[in-house]
Amino acid sequence: MPVCKILDYGKMRFEAQKKKAANKKRQKTQEVKEIKMRPNIDTHDYLVKTKAMTKFFDRGDKVKVTIRFRGREMAHMDRGRDLLIRVKEDFAETTKVEFHPKTEGRLMTMVLAPK
């Protein structure tokens, strides 16, 4: 004996649409936040920047650390690389490096993502 269920197609479509919207609402998109520094940054300024980075990582965002070189600072690219290594070591237990430090003209960038 065949059994069938009669249903309202409009109601079914509406419920599927609501379910899809609820799933989309729960989804967390990961943003890339940028922190800009200079190679000869002072300790307090560095601490302020790292505090902001910690907030971004807690929210689940990626952070792009950019070091900008101006004028004669271009002769001291090693200072910028040391600064990025310092940032990487400070956040070693909570983050992973997505893009290692690379130089593009006057900018040196590195991307960190939360683990």
In this structure, the chain runs to a length of 115
* Residue boundaries of the structural domains of the chain: 32-114
Cα–Cα distances (Å) from 84 to 5, 23, 52, 54, in that order, read 64, 38, 16, 15
**What is the tens place of the pLDDT at every residue in 8-22?**
999 999 999 999 999
pTM, whole model, 2 decimals?
0.71
Per-residue pLDDT band at 46 (split at 50, 70, 90):
very high
What average pLDDT score do residues 37-51 get? 94
- Look at residue 10 in the predicted model and tell me its pLDDT: 94
- For 32-114, which CATH class? alpha beta
Cα–Cα distances (Å) from 87 to 12, 37, 64, 93, 113, in that order, read 52, 11, 11, 12, 13
**What is the tens place of the pLDDT at every residue in 67-111?**
999 999 999 899 999 999 999 999 999 999 998 999 999 999 999
Q: Is the pLDDT of residue 26 over 90?
A: no
